[in-house]
């Protein structure tokens, strides 16, 4: 993200914040802007849903997998999710982003669901879907094996504000 884009996003958030209880940033690439507000001591709540997801996955004891659909998100996801000595592995769902970009949502969701099943079969105790566009896949799984999603965690946190 360029400094100019970061400043534009910060100005937009600054303009909206007085009217909102919270502004949830759901994109890992844009999320560092939220940290700027915390550092600057701004009022209001600007949670990063990716950070909520990473923290939830890191709390899990044992091996966990964070799945990414877009290769461009791997670096940001690894830097947030993977801690020294931790058991979180970040994986790319091969072919998913190509399906997404062509509008083939059935294939996109099928590839993600297969990757979730494979992660569990390979010993993951918890799986997280690292991109918001992946969220509908979670409903295909029983509650006991439902992958974590950032939108779900963010909505829970916002609901707790009320």
Is the Cα torsion angle 65, 68, 72, 77 positive or negative in sign?
Answer: negative
pLDDT for the residue numbered 102: 98
- Which domains are delineated in the chain? 3-47 (no CATH), 51-155 (3.40.50.1860)
pTM as predicted: 0.86
Local mean pLDDT, 10-residue blocks, the chain (162 residues): 90 87 82 74 76 93 96 91 92 98 98 98 97 96 95 88 70
pLDDT for the residue numbered 118: 98
pLDDT for the residue numbered 122: 97
């Amino acid at each position: 993200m360029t400094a100019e884009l970061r400043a534009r996003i910060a100005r937009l958030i600054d303009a909206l914040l007085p009217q909102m209880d919270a502004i949830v940033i759901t994109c890992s690439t844009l999320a560092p802007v939220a940290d700027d507000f915390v550092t600057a001591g701004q009022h209001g709540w600007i949670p990063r849903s990716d950070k909520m997801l990473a923290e939830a996955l890191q709390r899990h004891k044992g091996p966990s997998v964070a799945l990414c659909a877009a290769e461009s998100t791997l670096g940001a996801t690894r830097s947030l999710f993977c801690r020294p000595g931790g058991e979180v592995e970040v994986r790319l769902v091969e072919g998913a982003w190509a399906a997404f970009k062509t509008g083939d949502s059935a294939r996109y969701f099928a590839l993600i669901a297969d990757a979730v099943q494979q992660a569990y079969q390979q010993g993951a105790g918890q799986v997280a879907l690292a991109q918001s566009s992946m969220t509908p896949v979670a409903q295909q799984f029983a509650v006991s094996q439902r992958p974590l999603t950032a939108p779900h965690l963010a909505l829970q946190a916002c609901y707790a504000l009320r």
